[in-house]
Amino acid sequence: MTHLDTVVPDAPTLPRKPRPALFTIATIAAAIALTIVTARSVDFSFGEIIGNLSRKNSVVEGLLNPDWGQIWSRRSRSAFIETLQLAVLGTATGATLALPLALWTTTFGNPNRWIRTVVRSFNNVNRAIPDLLWASLFVASVGIGALSGLLALFFFSLAVTTKLTSDTLDGIDMGPIEAANAAGASLPKMLRTAVVPQILPAYASFVLYNFELNLRASAVLGLVGAGGIGLRIEFFRGRGDWEALWGLVFMFFIVVFVVERLSVTLRRRLV
Amino acid sequence: MIRFEQACVTYPNGVVGMKDLDLTIDDGEFVVIVGLSGAGKSTLIRAINGLVPLTSGRLDVNGRDVTKLNRSGLRELRSGIGMIFQGFNLVDRTTVLKNVLMGRLHEVPTWRTLIGRYPAADIDLAARALQRVEILEKAYSRASDLSGGQRQRVGIARALAQEPAIILADEPVASLDPPTSHVVMRYLQQISRELGITTIVNLHFLDLATAYADRIIGLRDGVLVFDGPGSDADEQVFESIYGRSLTADDTMTKHAAL
């Protein structure tokens, strides 16, 4: 058996240990300080939260005694179906258009620097606008109803799937692109045969994930008048009918949970 | 016929890839280009199909001046030149057949490519190409399931599916073990001889070069330093190409014995 100290007899001196990164320490300290300062400025206190919740409160009482009958009422059911339809349509339109849009942001998919810059800027602006803001904008301009919700979800899906797909495109193997070009392929043919097969499983997974997001978002969109189950929740909230409201919310939880489980299972098979 | 006249390539970062090259390669020749990495082997090969543009000089390929071609002219030129790569450049996630069909892209209408429905005649050609390198039974396997040697044969089939007049092979065996390297080199040699395809291969192992080449071209720092039949390429010639005496690292057989 060889002992290392017979092969390397002199105790080696290690190179100087690098100093702990000051930047990391400063960032952590700043994050803690910022949390404390903001908590103070909004008068955050645990006591108040517990105090408010334990006082006699019709909202919390409704939670303990939800109206299950509301789930099966005809109106609630059609509102649920509208929510699902919104999520499906918003995903189908937005996520489909996201694929070419993501390809246009890459150097290999779009040789024109100016068009690339324009498409990237559009994506950045689109991503900066939250779904609720889109919904409020369309409710104001198009009117209350499902169409506003659909438009909001379309732009929201476009933003999410484009971003995720672009990030995947950054990491693809460039070899097949060179091979397609060397065989005399035009740009669309090259993208279809050398790029799309590489990202297709990831893209399909993003579309499903986007559908989950849309289903959840479509509930909230109704609160500003953009159709779906949210409109119905808002209706009961306005009437102060908390039992019916909680019944609907529980039903919504179940729907979201089931869809999410299905989607997660499917996505695991894809990647 | 391929003819370089006073051809130069200087890359944007100042590196000289080709300097005052005068070279003529006749139809059907099997040429091996040797040189150290960075000597300009890849530059020479990629100049022929216009992947690397000349900075100055002239280059005729099959009667066309490559430097004057526009984008569609370049696609036309490339459709007649098959290319084989060191890293195979296959799409791993898709089938062997789909990879070989990439060689038919220039002929297949765009809409058919987009929906992935290739004409029967092109599928037939792809199958023949696979048959030629004896790997037809893997047509519906995923490219990622193949061994290195099998992948390079798919690479050769993809080039063959173009029905090319010229095949360019950029270090086709650099990622393979010695026995597999010989298999791949033999396929390239057979194809060149039987189908009369002009074949230009970059290699950095000298014994492989002398074993297969009809003609060896030596490059050093972008300059042509040797041009002659494989039998003329003795140790002295290789020293002029490599700028030093030969070591075991320069030949594959001794390399493998180490």
Read off the CATH number of the domain in which A237 is found: 1.10.3720.10
CB A156 within 8 A of CB A131: yes
**Residue B13 shares a structural domain with residue B69:** yes
Q: Which residues of B touch A188 (CB under 8 A)?
A: 110, 113-114
Q: What is the DSSP letter of A228?
A: S
**Residue B170 shares a structural domain with residue B68:** yes
Q: What is the amino acid identity at position A250?
A: F
What's the total number of domains in chain A? 1
Helix runs in A45-174, H state only: 46-54, 58-64, 69-72, 74-104, 113-128, 131-141, 146-170
Mean pLDDT score, B114-127:
95
**Residue B143 shares a structural domain with residue B180:** no
Å between B118 CA and nearest CA of chain A = 12
**Residue B173 shares a structural domain with residue B233:** yes
The residues in A 231-260 lying below 8 A from B, measured between CB atoms, are none
Mean pLDDT score, B217-234:
88
Task: Give pLDDT, residue A1.
Answer: 62
Inside any domain, residue B53: yes
Q: Which residues of B touch A181 (CB under 8 A)?
A: 51, 78
DSSP bridge partners of B84: B169
**Residue B116 shares a structural domain with residue B36:** no
Q: Which residues of B touch A192 (CB under 8 A)?
A: 113-114, 116
Inside any domain, residue A50: no
Q: Given B140, B163, B186, which residue is the final one in a domain?
A: B163
Which helix (H) or strand (E) is A263 found in, with range? helix A242-270
Task: Give pLDDT, residue B258.
Answer: 42
Query: Rounded to whole angstroms, how far apart are CA atoms B200 and B28?
Result: 10
Position A116 pLDDT exceeds 90: yes
Position A78 pLDDT exceeds 50: yes
Nearest by CB to residue A184, choosing from B90, B106, B113, is B106
CB B219 within 8 A of CB B40: yes
Å between A112 CA and nearest CA of chain B = 14
CB B228 within 8 A of CB B213: no
Inside any domain, residue A95: yes
Q: What CATH number corresponds to the domain at position B70? A: 3.40.50.300
What's the total number of domains in chain B? 2
Search chain B and give the residue with CA nearest A179: B89
Q: Do A189 and B79 touch (CB under 8 A)?
A: no
Inside any domain, residue B143: yes
Among A56-60, A213-217, B57-61, the range with the most confident prediction by mean pLDDT is B57-61
Å between B19 CA and nearest CA of chain A = 24
Q: Given B119, B134, B163, which residue is the final one in a domain?
A: B163
Q: Which residues contact A258 (CB under 8 A, 6 or more apart)?
A: none
Q: Do B91 and A197 touch (CB under 8 A)?
A: yes
Q: Which residues of A touch B82 (CB under 8 A)?
A: 183
The count of other CB atoms within 10 Å of the CB of residue A29 is: 10
**Residue B67 shares a structural domain with residue B188:** yes
Q: Name the residue range of residue A79's domain.
A: 61-270
Q: Which residues contact A256 (CB under 8 A, 6 or more apart)?
A: A212, A215, A216
Q: Name the residue range of residue B187's domain.
A: 1-80+166-258
Position B155 pLDDT exceeds 90: yes
Task: Give pLDDT, residue A18.
Answer: 79
Contact of A93 with chain B, judged by CB distance below 8 Å, is answered with no
Task: Give pLDDT, residue B215.
Answer: 94
Q: Give the total residue count for chain A.
A: 271
pLDDT band (50, 70, 90) for residue B257: very low
Mean pLDDT score, B143-172:
96
**Residue B229 shares a structural domain with residue B151:** no
Task: Give pLDDT, residue B180.
Answer: 92
Higher pLDDT, A182 or B257: A182
Q: Given B147, B163, B179, which residue is the final one in a domain?
A: B163
pLDDT band (50, 70, 90) for residue A167: very high
Q: Which residues of A touch B49 (CB under 8 A)?
A: 182
Q: Do A179 and B102 touch (CB under 8 A)?
A: yes
**Residue B140 shares a structural domain with residue B202:** no
Q: Do A193 and B49 touch (CB under 8 A)?
A: no
Inside any domain, residue A194: yes
**Residue B142 shares a structural domain with residue B40:** no
Contact of A176 with chain B, judged by CB distance below 8 Å, is answered with yes
Å between B25 CA and nearest CA of chain A = 20
Percent of chain B surpassing pLDDT 90: 81
**Residue B150 shares a structural domain with residue B211:** no
Q: Do B108 and A179 touch (CB under 8 A)?
A: no
Inside any domain, residue B85: no
Mean pLDDT score, A160-167:
95
Position B64 pLDDT exceeds 50: yes
